[in-house]
């Protein structure tokens, strides 16, 4: 089905096409990435919800492909392949995406905006939220529940704590995976302080240079005659062993655990949350100034766009379930009508490097669920 046909089939083509015109006037060029995409970026970089919903196939050469489940990665790949790669550029899109959704239509329309290369991150974040609210209003949905968060604040907290590198990687990785993060913290509550006969060895490995620790474990496995297990190489097994051994050793100090739980309990109006976060940083003697300055700057720029920040529900624990988010995240919901978002997006500064960019490129964007908005409820 073509993008035009798919849009028309929803009965919401006029509003959807009007969105593209509004985005074009705001400086966003119309992107049209192919429906069939390499599967690897989605398998490696997306969240678990998208990975398990992919429609996969293989071409004659053996390359694994998929029907695009989302448009952010396809638009980013096309940008990186263009002469504009690395320079500020903005794109909008409208077309079908494909995900297994258990009883719901597997093909549905998605519109959205992606902004690449802008160094004024706080202003770009505020613009995305404003454009998302305008998009909902174009469909007559104005009574919105605005939910926001910032994985960058959590990353700054974890980076400032005196933790083994393996714990820092694990906690940041699991932030958008609510069950995983909750399980990490619950297990640590039970296991911190446990002892085993090889705890000293594990502590030494966890606190050492990662490459050196991996080399040691890999050599020991090779000496033991291991080659691969379950399709994993010795190096992959060693990496997994190093992480799991450290986690099982109860390596997270109790004061750090308490501080993380206190941090994740902060929620409310963004201005009040900023004050609580400043107080937490002062109490714990942690330097979170850069992340908090960005947070407060963004709040001010959001207010400058006429958005009532007191109506925004901010939570330090808010995440959207996509592994590649690195900063500001938001969702727009119809008040009192469902739990799934009508509009959702955020900042993903690390994604383009992982897709092949030579240098880091700032990026932020959002997606719109057309059928949900046209019905005034979630799809």
pTM over 0.95: no
For residue 9, how many other CB atoms are within 10 A of its CB? 14
Quick: pLDDT tens for 25-66: 999 999 999 999 999 999 888 877 788 899 999 999 999 999
Tell me if residue 377 falls in helix, strand or coil.
Answer: coil
In this predicted structure, what is the pLDDT of residue 224? 66
Quick: pLDDT tens for 251-266: 577 888 899 999 999 9
Quick: pLDDT tens for 146-198: 999 999 999 999 999 988 777 888 888 888 776 667 776 776 665 444 444 44
Question: What values do phi and psi take at 97, rounded to 5?
Answer: -125, 165
| Residue 378's pLDDT band (cuts 50, 70, 90) | very low
* Among candidate residues 362, 368, 348, 369, the one with its CA nearest the CA of residue 73: 348
* Selected residue with higher pLDDT from 67 and 240: 67
In this predicted structure, what is the pLDDT of residue 152? 97
In this predicted structure, what is the pLDDT of residue 50? 85
H helices of the chain, in order, are 3-9, 13-25, 40-45, 48-51, 72-80, 121-138, 151-160, 165-174, 178-191, 199-207, 210-223, 234-248, 254-264, 270-284, 289-304, 351-354, 370-375
Tell me if residue 155 falls in helix, strand or coil.
Answer: helix
In this predicted structure, what is the pLDDT of residue 45? 86
**Tokens representing residue 108 in the block:** 């549905």
CATH 3.30.930.10 domain extents, the chain: 3-156+262-375
Identify the architecture of domain 3-156+262-375 in CATH: 2-Layer Sandwich (3.30)
Question: What values do phi and psi take at 89, rounded to 5?
Answer: -160, 145
In this predicted structure, what is the pLDDT of residue 2? 41
Q: What is the mean pLDDT of the chain?
A: 85
Residue 70 has pLDDT above 70, yes or no: yes
| Residue 321's pLDDT band (cuts 50, 70, 90) | confident
Contact present, 333 and 142 (Cβ < 8 Å): no
Quick: pLDDT tens for 93-114: 999 999 998 888 999 999 999 9
| Residue 116's pLDDT band (cuts 50, 70, 90) | very high
| Residue 304's pLDDT band (cuts 50, 70, 90) | very high
Quick: pLDDT tens for 269-286: 999 999 999 999 999 999
CA distance 32 to 296: 35
* Among candidate residues 336, 306, 307, 321, the one with its CA nearest the CA of residue 367: 321
* Selected residue with higher pLDDT from 170 and 312: 312
Quick: pLDDT tens for 198-210: 455 555 555 555 5
């Amino acid at each position: 089905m073509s993008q035009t046909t798919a849009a028309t089939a929803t009965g919401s083509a006029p509003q959807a096409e009007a969105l593209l015109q509004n985005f074009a006037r705001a400086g966003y060029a119309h992107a049209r990435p192919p429906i069939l995409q390499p599967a690897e970026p989605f398998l490696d970089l997306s969240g678990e919800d998208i990975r398990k919903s992919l429609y996969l196939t293989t071409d004659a050469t053996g390359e694994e492909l998929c029907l695009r489940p989302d448009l952010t990665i396809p638009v980013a790949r096309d940008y990186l392949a263009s002469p504009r790669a690395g320079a500020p550029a903005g794109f909008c899109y409208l077309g079908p995406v494909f995900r297994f959704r258990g009883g719901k239509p597997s093909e549905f329309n998605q519109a959205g905006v992606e902004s690449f290369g802008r160094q004024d991150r706080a202003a770009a974040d505020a613009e995305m939220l404003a454009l998302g609210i305008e998009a909902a209003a174009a469909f007559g949905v104005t009574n919105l529940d605005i939910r926001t968060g910032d994985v960058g604040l959590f990353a700054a907290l974890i980076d400032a704590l005196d933790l083994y590198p393996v714990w820092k990687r694990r906690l940041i990785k699991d932030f958008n995976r609510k069950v995983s993060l909750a399980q990490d913290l619950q297990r640590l509550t039970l296991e911190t302080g446990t002892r085993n006969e090889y705890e000293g060895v594990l502590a030494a490995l966890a606190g050492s240079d990662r490459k050196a620790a991996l080399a040691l474990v890999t050599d020991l496995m090779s000496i033991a005659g291991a080659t691969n297990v379950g399709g994993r190489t010795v190096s992959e097994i060693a990496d997994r062993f190093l992480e799991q051994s450290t986690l099982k050793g109860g390596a997270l100090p109790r004061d750090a655990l308490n501080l993380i739980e206190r941090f994740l309990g902060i929620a409310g109006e963004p201005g009040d949350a900023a004050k609580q976060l400043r107080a937490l940083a002062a109490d714990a003697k942690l330097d979170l100034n850069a992340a908090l300055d960005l947070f407060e700057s963004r709040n001010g720029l959001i207010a400058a766009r006429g958005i009532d920040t007191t109506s925004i529900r901010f939570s330090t624990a808010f995440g959207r379930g996509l592994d590649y988010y690195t900063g500001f995240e938001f969702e727009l919901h119809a008040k009192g009508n469902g739990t799934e978002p009508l509009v959702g997006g955020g900042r993903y500064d690390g994604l383009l490097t992982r897709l092949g960019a030579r240098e880091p490129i700032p990026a932020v964007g959002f997606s719109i669920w057309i059928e949900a908005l046209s019905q005034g409820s979630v799809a």
